[in-house]
Structure 1
Amino acid sequence: MKSEWIVNYDDNEIRVTNSWFSGEKLFVNNELQDEQLSFITPSNLTGSLTDKNGVKLNIKTNISGFFTVSCRLFIDNKKVELKQTK
C-alpha cells in the first residue's frame, strides 16, 4: 500500500510518500531530502527549503499508523496542512 501527501508552500512543492517496500521519503521540489525504512515505529523525516526571501526554513514530518497512515508536517515549527493524494 502506498500513501502520498503534497503541499505547495511559498512556491515549493513538498511531497511525502510512504510504502511498505520503499519506506518513507521526503521530497522538496522533487529532490529527495530524507528517507527511512521503519516498519513498526513512527517515522520522522527532516529537510529544509528556501522561502521567497532567501531564508532557509526547517521541515519536519511525522508518519504514523498501521492500517490507516497519517502524516503531519511542520515548517519552521508551525503545522502545515497536507493534502493526501493516494
Structure 2
Amino acid sequence: MKSTWLATYENVEIKVMNSWFHGEKMLVNGEVQDERFGAFSSNLTGHLIDSKGERKNIKANLGGSFSIHCNIFVDDKKMEVNKI
C-alpha cells in the first residue's frame, strides 16, 4: 500500500510518500531530502528556500494505528496537507 501527501509553501511543493516496501520519502520540488525505513512511525526532515532567500526547516511526522497520517511543519508551523 502506498500513500502520498502534498503541501505547498509559497511556490514550493512538499511531497511525502509512504510505502510498505520502500519506506518513507520527503521530496521538495521533486528532489529527495530525506528517506527512512520505519515500521510504525517516522520523522522526516528537510529544508526549503523561501521567496526572500531564507532557509526554512521542514519536518514531517508519519504515524497511526489503522491508517497512516501525515503532518508537515515549516519552521514549526503546521501546514495544510492533502492526501492524494
- Pick the TM interval, shorter chain: over 0.9
Residue 71 in 1 paired to residue 70 in 2?
yes
TM-score (structure 1 length as normaliser):
0.94
Other-structure match for 2:6: 6
Residue 16 in 1 paired to residue 33 in 2?
no
Other-structure match for 2:30: 30
Query: Please, which runs of 5 or more residues in structure 2 have no aligned partner?
Result: none
* In structure 2, C-alpha distance between the alignment counterparts of 1:14 and 1:28, rounded to whole Å: 5
Query: Please, which runs of 5 or more residues in structure 1 have no aligned partner?
Result: none
> Percentage identity across aligned positions?
49
- Over residues 17-47 of structure 1, what are the superposed CA-to-partner deviations in whole Å (9 max), with x where a residue is unaligned? 000000000000000000100113x100000
* In structure 2, C-alpha distance between the alignment counterparts of 1:76 and 1:67, rounded to whole Å: 29
Other-structure match for 2:83: 84
Equivalent residue pairs, number = 84
Shift of 1:67: 2.5
The root-mean-square deviation of aligned C-alpha atoms, in Å, is: 0.8
Other-structure match for 2:61: 62
TM-score (structure 2 length as normaliser):
0.96
* In structure 2, C-alpha distance between the alignment counterparts of 1:55 and 1:4, rounded to whole Å: 27
Shift of 1:12: 0.4
Other-structure match for 1:53: 52
